[in-house]
Amino acid sequence: VIIEPRPFVMGRAVGSIVGHMVAASHRRNGIEIASGGRVTGLDYNRDKWHLTLKDGSTVTADIVVGTMGERPDLTWLDGTGIDTSDGVLCDPSLRVLDTNGNAVDGVVACGSIARWPNPRGDGKPQKIGQWIAAQEQGIGAARALLAGGRPLPAVSILPRFWTHQGALRIEVCGEIDPKADIEVHELRPGKKDPAKAGVMATYTRK
């Protein structure tokens, strides 16, 4: 059973159209989508977990796995002068900035805490949480340390990830804009389970 406040899954990752296709494929393979809202209560009784959802419905399970997202602990940086208003603010080369916008000598950041103006984004500092991005940021951060104060090209990263869910392999490349125009092409039209048969979705920003 997947507990999801909406009647589809992976909304932020793939959007509602593809999210509905993935949810339908899961249902065909015996996975229930419980869309009664967020969990409001949790109880363990008679060797079972009993979860109460926002709409009052319940889900009974042997094992409960929570996917809560990420919230980096930056309290250890309090008092350092580093800008931690939303992650750790960096310049385009991943050099850490203080609250006045100046680079902190010899300090860089990478991974899900780093917020920097990615040239592949809209120009505003942003965070990218995928592990592939962290790996590539590590290379850029090391380059910045070795360069000292010398100018460097911006660290440019294309957001991307993949996930295996049952018989589905889902690959996402780029940022999904909720307001994007979406074109969906079924690779094998007419199949009962289009998500399993193969689908390509193209998202175009307006």
What does the pLDDT look like over 102-133, one tens digit per residue?
Answer: 999 999 999 999 999 999 988 899 999 888 99
Model confidence pLDDT, tens digit, residues 30-69: 999 999 889 999 999 999 999 999 999 999 999 999 987 7
Residue 206 in this model has a pLDDT that exceeds 80: no
Whether residue 53 contacts residue 34, with contact meaning beta carbons closer than 8 Å, is answered with yes
> Would you state the pLDDT for residue 130?
87
CA–CA distance, 3 with 59 (Å, rounded to integer): 9
Q: For residue 19, name the pLDDT band (cuts at 50, 70, 90).
A: very high
For residue 192, the one-letter residue type is K
pLDDT above 90: residue 136: yes
List b or e across 174-200, with b for residues whose CB sees 16 or more CB atoms inside 10 angstroms.
ebbeeebeeeeeeeeeeeeebbbeebe
pLDDT tens by residue, 152-188:
999 999 999 999 998 899 999 988 887 889 999 999 9
pLDDT at 133: 93
Query: What is the Cα–Cα distance from 2 to 155, expressed in whole angstroms?
Result: 37
Pair 77, 88: CB distance under 8 Å: yes
> Is residue 18 pLDDT above 90, yes or no?
yes
Q: What is the pLDDT of residue 71?
A: 82
